[in-house]
Structure 1
Amino acid sequence: MFNKFLKNWNRKKLKDKKYDFLFDEPLNNEYVCLDCETTGLSPRKDEILSIGAVHIKDNKVIMRETFNIFVKPSKNISAESIKIHHIRPIDLENAVSPKKAILKLLDFIGSRPIVGYYIKFDIAMISKYTKQYIGINLPNESIEVSSMFFKSKKKTSEYEFIDLKFDTIMKELDIPSLGKHDALNDAIMTSMMFLKLRNLTPAKTTFYTS
């Protein structure tokens, strides 16, 4: 009940009714998995440099339906930042404006639930821009693969440590590595995690509202 009220209240704040489709009922068994490379880990002060996303439908990663875009930052990226995201100034020569990137992303996402690894951070980063451009935070439901992995593990006690690092989950699920620090590759690998985990624990898939 509260989630429905929150959704309707958020919908009323939408500045551009063209994006009303974000609030539609999502199609059954369709998701979008996304990943962002950013200048840092603060949604408040850092910026998105690239976004990769892919559609998931009927237990398949739809490789013909991918989204991969570089985003022009407001200032030069630092050497320290490059060590983290591995995106160089030359990679951003043909980058598009944040507004163009985000609005194209919204068309790609639609009303689908968003799958990701520590996805709340990515959604917080994207919402910083959507708030500015269309007046609202990204309203889509989200699914966290690290939570799915945690729930899939049989623990001997409630105090047992479960390693939730990306590489650990990849290894345990026998997912092939496509290369790190590439937003689209990360989104594809996370999609494969999601599908394996959903088959392991179909009743435990958890949805979060942003």
Structure 2
Amino acid sequence: MFSFYSHFKRKRNFAGLKDETYKFLFEEDKSDEFVVFDTETTGLNPKVDDILSIGAVKIKDNKILTSQTFEVYVKNTKEISSKSIEIHGIRTCDLKNAKKSDEAIKEFLHFIGSRRLVGYYLEFDVSMINKYTLPMLGIKLPNKMIEVSELYYDAQITTIPQGNIDLRFDTMLKKYNIPNMGIHNAVNDAVMTGMIFLKLQNAR
């Protein structure tokens, strides 16, 4: 039932594709790679907020391919709240040489291809990307998604069956002795999320 529904959703999504040059997103991935990605945004509401930057890194053969990182800053016309700046440190003046949103999103799509996507609270980041891909290409991201907080929950619930699982990012870093890279930006967050993902994969 679920697989049929997923297939139907994917088929309907593909039917909406406006630009055939992006049908590679729906093709079978043969790279055996994952892409971990993160976005920095003007806020936490995909309906009204915009992407300021996207960071991503590839994983293959149990290794983070740090030589293949992706980072792009996106032009923004809205005011960036002081609360957002406190989190990611991106100010309007930092976006002086940023790319237009369509260009930035297209570069990101070529980077990820049809690879499996990994993230921490990935649903939000995917919703932000879809905000741009829907009007531009007529589709949502069709890639398979892996949520690290779900993997972490599944790993911990076996040892604390009636416990309250702490899913905070810093908690997971400490649990697996992963160093906090300090500067909060999309690339660093993607790399740290990738490290958590590998720890969880190897613990299976």
Identify the TM-score tier after normalising by the shorter chain.
Answer: over 0.9
* 8 Å CA contact 1:39, 1:85 repeated in 2: no
* 8 Å CA contact 1:37, 1:181 repeated in 2: no
Could you say which residue in structure 2 is the equivalent of 1:115? 118
* 8 Å CA contact 2:31, 2:115 repeated in 1: no
Which of the numbers 4, 25, 29 marks the counterpart of 1:26? Answer: 29
Give me the whole-angstrom Cα distance separating, in 2, the residues matched to 1:180 and 1:90.
Answer: 18
Deviation above 2 Å: which 4+ runs of structure 1? Answer: 78-81, 154-158
- Counting aligned pairs with the same residue, the percent is 50
Give me the whole-angstrom Cα distance separating, in 1, the residues matched to 2:167 and 2:106.
Answer: 32
Could you say which residue in structure 2 is the equivalent of 1:192? 195
Could you say which residue in structure 2 is the equivalent of 1:37? 40
1:125 aligns with 2:131: no
Which of the numbers 87, 90, 93 marks the counterpart of 2:93? Answer: 90
Give me the whole-angstrom Cα distance separating, in 1, the residues matched to 2:31 and 2:84.
Answer: 39
TM-score in terms of structure 2 length: 0.94
Give the aligned residue type for 1:114: L
Alignment: residue pair count: 200
1:167 aligns with 2:170: yes
- Per-residue displacement from partner, 1:89-133 (whole Å, max 9, x unpaired)? 232111111111000000001001110000000000000000011
Give unmatched runs, 5+ long, in structure 2.
Answer: none
1:102 aligns with 2:105: yes
1:75 aligns with 2:110: no
Give unmatched runs, 5+ long, in structure 1.
Answer: 202-210
TM-score in terms of structure 1 length: 0.91
Could you say which residue in structure 1 is the equivalent of 2:161? 157
SS in structure 2 at match of 1:40? coil
Could you say which residue in structure 2 is the equivalent of 1:205? none
* 8 Å CA contact 1:35, 1:187 repeated in 2: yes
* 8 Å CA contact 1:173, 1:196 repeated in 2: yes
Give me the whole-angstrom Cα distance separating, in 2, the residues matched to 1:37 and 1:156.
Answer: 33
The Cα of 1:13 is off from its aligned counterpart by: 0.6
The Cα of 1:171 is off from its aligned counterpart by: 0.5
- Per-residue displacement from partner, 1:107-160 (whole Å, max 9, x unpaired)? 0010011100000000000000000110111111110001111111134433x1
Could you say which residue in structure 2 is the equivalent of 1:54? 57
Give the aligned residue type for 1:44: K
SS in structure 2 at match of 1:25? coil
The Cα of 1:28 is off from its aligned counterpart by: 5.5
Give the aligned residue type for 2:46: P
Moved more, 38-47 or 68-77: 68-77
